[in-house]
Chain A
Amino acid sequence: MAISEQALRNRERWDALADGYQQQHGPQLTVDELVWGQWSIPDAEVGVLGDVAGRTVLELGCGGAQWSVALAKRGACVIGLDNSARQLQHARELVATAGVEVQLVHASAESVPLPDGSFDIVLSDHGALSWGEPGRVVPEIARLLRRGGLLAFNVTSPLVRMCWNDENDSLDTALHRSYFDVYRTEEGEGAATFALRHGEWIRLLRDSAFEVEGLVELRPRTEASTTYGDFVPLDWARRWPAEDLWKARRR
């Protein structure tokens, strides 16, 4: 299937990053609970997915398929999709080890080779809604979901994008970047991530036949730990939202 130039750059980037990423973060991500984001915040705490048993679920940007495996263990019928073949290599190993059934698909979330209306839930945790262009991915998700289906996605907050200090490559408490200019962030070798403003998310979701059901600004507990600590320090994430977990319902 045709893939955009940007999706191709991101694919190459993730093929190169996959081994190191899984080595550094794989163990934290591999838990039986359903957990969101850098701080592994349980879904039960934020009440976004609820009971997934018997649901057909598509994970967009599944990486090593840690989420997909945890969902399958809870009785969901899961497909994990990723743009990187190397990430899916890790995913296959995890699926085999876990002894669960998860179908893995190699494709860009901007054009998914799966039929219309085939899922109850589409989710993405720092996956395709960050590494794909939201304006292309959200309409595709609308196509894939059944009416009444749930979209849940976790993305880096616009505030993190604004407070990122390029000079020393770290997060601080000054606004370095304009809110009106958070759309594209270079991720090296031509790869890029994308972010929308709050109002843009709401408009895109509504224009794509979704109702906005919630925005959970994830806040780690005081004793939280993470393997992503060099990205957002805990004391920052305790005071300001580093991750935005959006919940939308297909009309």
Chain B
Amino acid sequence: MTLPEHVARNRAAWDGWATDYVEAGERAWAQDEPTWGIWGIPEAEVGMLPPDLAGKDTIELGCGTAYISAWLARRGARPVGIDNSEAQLGTARRLQAEHGLEFALLHGNAEEVPLPDESFDLAISEYGASIWADPYRWLPEAARLLRPGGELVFLVNGTILMLCVPDEEGIAAGDRLLRPYFGMHRFEWPDDESVEFHLPYGEWIRLFRRNGLEVEDLIELRPGEGATTGYPFVTSEWARRWPSEEIWRARKQLDG
């Protein structure tokens, strides 16, 4: 099967980056309390996870080292993780063995998941398919996989951040709008082969509705003063003033 061009490029990119994410994966797996995003904001402050996960079927779209699925499993959920990078899944499998937590891990593209309709209560993604897959393909697929009443929760880079972050790697976003908002969708960078996807607010809402999802929340994350991150593309001063990360919550309508 031939992969779509952006999927093949991101697979190669993530197979290459996987070793850089081993340590973060190990740390996250060892955590009891989930933390979110590049500022590590605690779940107690964010409320990204549904309150009762016991017995819930969950799928993590673009799971990487599958640390979210590990947190979900410890809360009684039955997780499945899918990722585009075999190298990332290698780390995930090793951590499963080390922590004695078993759940299914699939190597594949979140835009085309080989699982039946309406088989999950929660679909979740943190900087996974939510930015590395095409929303016009992965979001309908997530809606298909959810049971009526099931939840979709995902974290992405802030919309305004994506207008302000320079093309060159390693330079933090400034206070200038560097690119237009209208038409934002596919992002490519001069320094690597990866392809990212970011949509305008209104376009996300249209996409939810078109796929039978109700918009439930948009959490615009703001780190505490003095928060730190290892990522070079944004400073905490910037993120204190404008949202560097956003979490969307949507629910599949009961009447389909």
Name A residues whose Cβ lies closer than 8 Å to a Cβ of B.
Answer: 159, 162-163, 173-176, 178-180, 197-199, 202-203, 206, 211-217, 219, 238-241, 244
Contacts and interface: CB of A to CB of B under 8 A. Distances in A.
B187 interface: no
Interface of B: 160, 163-164, 175-177, 180-182, 200-202, 205-206, 209, 214-220, 222, 240-243, 246
B205 A240 contact: no
B160 A175 contact: yes
A211 B201 CA distance: 16
A173 B176 contact: yes
A203 B215 CA distance: 10
A218 B29 CA distance: 44
A241 B177 contact: no
Q: Is the interface of B mostly helix, strand, loop or mixed?
A: mixed
A179 B220 contact: yes
A240 B163 CA distance: 10
Contacts of A162: 160, 242
Contact of B206 (A176, A214, A240): A214
Nearest to B164: A175
Contact of A175 (B180, B200, B222, B242): B242
* Residue of B200, B205, B240 most packed against chain A (CB within 10 A): B205
A159 B200 contact: no
Q: Is the interface of A mostly helix, strand, loop or mixed?
A: mixed
A216 B182 CA distance: 11
B243 to A, nearest CB: 6
A175 B216 contact: no
B200 A217 contact: yes
Contacts of A159: 160, 181
A151 B55 CA distance: 38
Contacts of B200: 217, 241
A202 B201 CA distance: 11
A213 B242 contact: no
Contact of B177 (A163, A198, A217): A163
A178 B218 contact: no
A244 to B, nearest CB: 8
Given A175-B164, A179-B243, 10 more contacts: A162-B160, A179-B220, A179-B242, A198-B220, A199-B219, A215-B201, A239-B181, A240-B182, A241-B202, A244-B202
Nearest to A218: B202
A238 B175 CA distance: 20
A232 B168 CA distance: 30
